Structure 1
Amino acid sequence: MVLGICHLTIEMPEAHSLKEKRRVVRSLTERVRARFNVSIAEVADQDAWQVATVAFVCLSNSSRHVDDTMQTVIRFIEGNLQAGYLADVATEVMHLD
């Protein structure tokens, strides 16, 4: 079994309130969840209004499938950010027995 974990830091310099940031993050996570078979959530910086840290995970029996899924989700997020940009991306793949 292979587990892929990805942490994304999203900078939103145009966000002027927590409400605006949360709207962007909620919209993004709902679209990713609906389109891909991954678990995704905001995992840090909940009270910072110009930065969001989001993580998603995927599980498969194939390393290639996990890598492909993570890259596809990252590209989707990058192309669909309404008010911001990806400042940092960290991925990790774990092989579980």
Structure 2
Amino acid sequence: MVVGTGQIKLRLFDVHSLKAKRSIVKSMISRLQNRFNISVAETALNDSHDWAEIGFALVGNDASTINAKIDKVFNMADELGLAMIADTHMEIIHL
């Protein structure tokens, strides 16, 4: 079994309330979940208006497939254009 995890740190512009931030983050989370059938959540920077962090995880039986899917998640998050991606991190764990 192979577990893949990823983190996306987002820079948000023209966000002046946590409600506006939550709208952007929820939109991105739901689109990623629907497109890739992965577990996604806001994992850090909950009280910041300008920054957000989204974490996700997926499970499979082939490391190269997991790696490719994680790359596609990063690419889609960038293509959505809801926020600027400041940093990404991925980890693949063989169990």
- The TM-score normalised by the length of structure 1 is 0.94
Unpaired runs of at least 5, structure 2: none
Q: Equivalences for 1:1-97 in 2 at 5 Å?
A: 1-82=1-82, 84-96=83-95
Contact kept? 1:3, 1:58, Cα under 8 Å: yes
Write the deviation string for residues 20-55 of structure 1: whole angstroms up to 9, x where unpaired.
Answer: 110000011001111112100000111111100100
Post-superposition, which runs of at least 4 consecutive aligned residues in structure 1 deviate over 4 A?
none
Partners of 2:64 and 2:81 lie apart in 1 by: 26
Write the deviation string for residues 36-80 of structure 1: whole angstroms up to 9, x where unpaired.
Answer: 121000001111111001001111000011001100011000000
Shift of 1:14: 1.7
Give RMSD over aligned pairs. 0.8
The residue type paired with residue 61 of structure 1 is: N
Q: What is the number of residues matched between the two proteins?
A: 95
Identity of aligned residues (%): 31
